[in-house]
Amino acid sequence: MKKVDKTVSDPFDLDAVIPTPEELNTLDAIPARESPVEQERRLRVKAAEFDMEGLMTDFPTATELQQFVYDQTGVVLNLKGRANRIKYQVALDTLNGIDPGEEFTGSENPYLDRTELIPEEPLRVLPPRDEAIDRAGPEITRFTTNQFPHPDPDWRAQDMKCQVTFRKYANNMITYEILGPISKRAVGVKLNKYGREVPEKIVWIDARTGEQIIRNATGQLTPLGTRLKAFMTRMKVNRTNQWDLWIDRDFILAGDMVSDNPWAVN
């Protein structure tokens, strides 16, 4: 085969040898010569490739394997309890940039030691709202105060207050609700594996009550309502008190009770 020069110096030279398409394809298929720098880089990358046998030797447990993959890729794997052939193959694929799939991924940091976690009490569910409140008609007054001592004995000893809201409805019903505050408290002391003192558990200081009835539509107070009324009655405002002035009041109407026509019955 003639040696073909793909570069034609003079496009008007009628004697120039024009390569055929087959010859051009043959020439394009010849790989470029690899430079020493590229050859060294290719060998270095090949030597850095992860190997199944290497992973099984260096990381015999799922925890160690998950930690190594996390360090290398930032991917959290869930490999505990899997067959070895699946466990190490998934790890190897992840290290090589292959997505492990949702069934093999986790959410917790693999370095997290659950035995050292401090148990935390869940936030309690508030008691249900009495259905009678829904039938009480529109709300006509609302008064919120921060003057009540906190129900928790420790916080009360520190003169901490709680936030209480009173509501009066159109049928003469009065309700109360403690809104907060809510906070966490450490209980007990134990030593962790590093010899440091940590709490045994974390509990919530939660005085919330949800909205509860303290006076029904006939004007009868509950035992708690009697105590709350006495407390608010002691709070003097000029010649009256907070219960009569802000809670059990009749002249402020709100919501559906307001009308442009006071003579309308509907």
Rounded mean pLDDT, 172-193: 89
Q: Which two tokens stand for residue 250?
A: 């009749």
Give the pLDDT of residue 18: 60
Among 161, 162, 156, CA closest to 178: 162
248 versus 33: which is more confidently predicted? 248
Query: Is the per-residue pLDDT at 164 higher than 80?
Result: yes
Mean pLDDT, range 129-139, rounded to an integer:
90
* 191-208: average pLDDT: 85
Could you give the 3-state DSSP secondary structure of residue 71? helix
User: Is the pLDDT higher at 48 or at 93?
Assistant: 93
Mean pLDDT is lowest, of 64-78, 127-141, 144-158, 221-235, for: 64-78
Handedness of CA 11, 12, 16, 21 (dihedral sign): positive
Tokens standing for 115? 């035995």
- In the predicted model, is pLDDT for residue 94 greater than 80? yes
What is the pLDDT, as a whole number, of residue 19? 60
Q: Which DSSP string do the residues of 83-146 spell out, in sequence order?
A: -HHHHHHHHHHHHTT----GGGB-SS-TT--GGGPPPBPPPPPPPPPPHHHHTS-SEEEEEEEE
User: Mean pLDDT in the chain?
Assistant: 79
DSSP 8-state code for residue 255: G
Beta bridge partners of 213: 175
pTM passes above 0.75: no
Cβ count within 10 A of residue 46: 8
Distance, CA of 138 to CA of 128 (rounded, Å): 19
What CA–CA distance (Å, rounded) separates 45 from 96?
12
Task: Band the pLDDT of 239: cuts 50, 70, 90.
Answer: confident
* pLDDT tens-digit readout, 111-121: 777 777 788 88
What share of residues in the chain are helix, strand, coil (percent, to 5)? 30, 20, 45
Average pLDDT of the residues in 221-234: 92
- Give me the pLDDT at residue 118, please: 81
pLDDT at 45 over 80: no
Question: Token pair 């919330």 is at which residue?
Answer: 208
CA distance 138 to 253: 9
Helices of type H across the chain: 21-28, 36-47, 52-58, 62-73, 84-95, 131-134, 153-157, 223-233, 242
Greatest Cα-to-Cα distance within the chain, rounded to the nearest angstrom: 122
Model confidence at 12, pLDDT cuts 50, 70, 90, reads low
Rounded distance between C-alpha atoms, residue 98 and residue 13, angstroms: 55
Domain boundaries, the chain: 36-104, 131-257
Q: For the segment 139-160, what is each residue's pLDDT rounded down to a tens digit?
A: 999 999 998 899 998 888 999 9
Q: What is the pLDDT of residue 27?
A: 46
Higher pLDDT, 42 or 94: 94
